[in-house]
């Protein structure tokens, strides 16, 4: 099975209006910027995006929000994206804010083939409204369903032609969990190497989870919040 595609346009060719996407990354770290740019260019709309947050206004998912291509965001927080906040407060954008650990575990459950999980996060808060609560050993837990995403789009540091992926430092964040969870997983990598080139002990995501892979140009490394210490 040939998993290598020519670039982001070919990688996202069958993502159409109304699709549900998982998008790896945390802030601006480890986001699949090439695929996001391709989605902006393609003009798909009514997307449901599952991502920890939407980064900033002029980069990553923020570009999709600017073009009103996102119908719903499932995230942990609004972050530094003013347009995300504006659309949320104005009612233009459906937003499901959920605890960060719950977001990660719902990705994990999808990857493991589990339909749901029980978690103590959110018990007794607005997060619990309308959800099943069960008591285990004297403690209440919420029932949360695994995500059902059409596509997972991730970014890795290195990958091989079989789809095996290596993430760099904190860019691992949500990427390995989401790579396991999509019906179709697309990986953009900074360096694509021949199969067998990667140290098996260094692989974070096995190629069995990855359906399409390409080497993508890395944009300038962005900093979400620049903080300079006083000397």
pLDDT band at 224 (very low <50, low <70, confident <90, very high): low
CB 41 within 8 A of CB 13: no
Q: Is the pLDDT of residue 51 over 70?
A: yes
- pLDDT for position 69: 98
Tokens in use for 229?
A: 């210490």
For residue 8, pLDDT over 90 is answered with: yes
The pLDDT tens digits of the residues spanning 95-112 come to 999 999 999 999 999 999
Confidence at residue 87, expressed as pLDDT on a 0 to 100 scale: 94
User: E strands of the chain, at which residues?
Assistant: 20-23, 47-50, 70-75, 94-97, 116-119, 133-136, 139-145, 151-160, 165-166, 184-193, 212-215
CATH architecture of the domain covering 9-113+146-215:
3-Layer(aba) Sandwich (3.40)
Give pLDDT tens digits for 63-74.
999 999 999 999
Band (213; pLDDT cuts 50, 70, 90): very high
All structural domains of the chain with their residue ranges: 9-113+146-215
What pLDDT is recorded for position 222?
Answer: 67
Contact, 117 vs 105, CB < 8 A?
A: yes
């Amino acid at each position: 099975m040939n998993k290598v595609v020519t670039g982001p346009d070919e990688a996202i060719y069958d993502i159409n209006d109304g699709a549900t996407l998982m998008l790896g990354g945390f802030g601006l770290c480890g986001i699949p910027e090439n695929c996001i740019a391709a989605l902006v260019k393609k003009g798909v709309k009514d997307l449901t995006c599952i991502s920890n947050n939407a980064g900033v206004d002029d980069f990553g998912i923020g570009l999709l929000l600017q073009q009103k291509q996102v119908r719903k965001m499932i995230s942990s927080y609004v972050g530094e994206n003013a347009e995300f906040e504006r659309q949320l407060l104005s009612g233009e954008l459906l937003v499901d804010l959920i605890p960060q650990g719950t977001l990660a575990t719902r990705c994990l459950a999808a990857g493991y083939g589990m339909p749901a999980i029980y978690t103590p996060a959110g018990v007794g808060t607005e997060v619990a409204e309308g959800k099943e609560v069960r008591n285990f050993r004297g403690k209440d837990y919420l029932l949360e369903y695994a995500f059902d995403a059409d596509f997972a789009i991730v970014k890795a540091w290195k990958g091989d032609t079989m789809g095996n992926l290596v993430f760099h430092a904190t860019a691992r964040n949500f990427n390995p969990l989401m790579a396991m969870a999509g019906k179709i997983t697309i990986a953009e990598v900074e360096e694509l190497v021949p199969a067998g080139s990667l140290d098996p002990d260094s692989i974070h995501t096995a190629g069995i989870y990855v359906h399409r892979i390409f080497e993508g140009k890395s944009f300038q490394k962005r900093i979400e919040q620049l903080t300079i210490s006083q000397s």
